[in-house]
Amino acid sequence: MALPPTEEISPLDRQNLVNLETPPPSQARRIIIETIETIVLAVILFLAINFLSARIRVDGSSMEPNFHNGDYVIVNRVAYQTGGIERGDVVVFPYPNNEEVDYIKRVIGLPGDQVAIYGGIVYLNGEAIPETYTLEPWTFDLAERTVPEGTVFVLGDNRNNSEDSRSWGFLNIEKIIGKAIFRYWPLDTMGVVYHPDIVLAAPQSN
């Protein structure tokens, strides 16, 4: 059956005619396009997740009883871009003497704080702080010192088996990778990382 001249076809019929003359994309082409879109989305999500967070494996016993060798923890990389560091935070950073190795420790002293340890008790700005998260008291004393600007004083929870600010000094805040927020392995200890509030008076002036 012959079609009428184009000028006699209504706009709606002309559009239908164009649709009839344009073959739909093949199923193979559609699958390829959907696969490419899925891959691109997955790459974007992967990059976003890695920008915002990191996953680290706890190596050693320096944070017992709260973290054990082989624990896997998610670290918030942007925690300190939106808020300040607080006493009690558990942070991850490159070991100052070998930056290829990541360490996990607890922040005890902030810039300006006066830190000392006597008889296994930690004193901040002259106040003894309650530490329910430690494995056992440290068996040595640490003379009082002031935390310099731009740094923090960090300790392992397992005080008698931890290499931390007592041995290699204050931690540069700019070196901190992020704040430990969630333990996802092993499954029986999965959960949000506990960060106790250590609220003190302002540092005493010298």
Catalytic positions, written as ranges: 62, 105
* Displacement of CA 30 from its chain's centroid (Å): 39
121 touches 137 (CB < 8 A)? yes
Helices (H) and strands (E) in the chain, counts: 4, 12
66 touches 84 (CB < 8 A)? no
Nearest to 98 by CA among 160, 166, 168: 168
DSSP 135-179: SB--SS-EEEEEPPTTEEEEE-SBGGG--SHHHH-PEEGGG--EE
DSSP 5-47: PGGGS-HHHHHHHHHHHSPPPPHHHHHHHHHHHHHHHHHHHHH
Nearest to 113 by CA among 148, 164, 159: 148
* Displacement of CA 102 from its chain's centroid (Å): 12
DSSP 8-state code for residue 196 = -
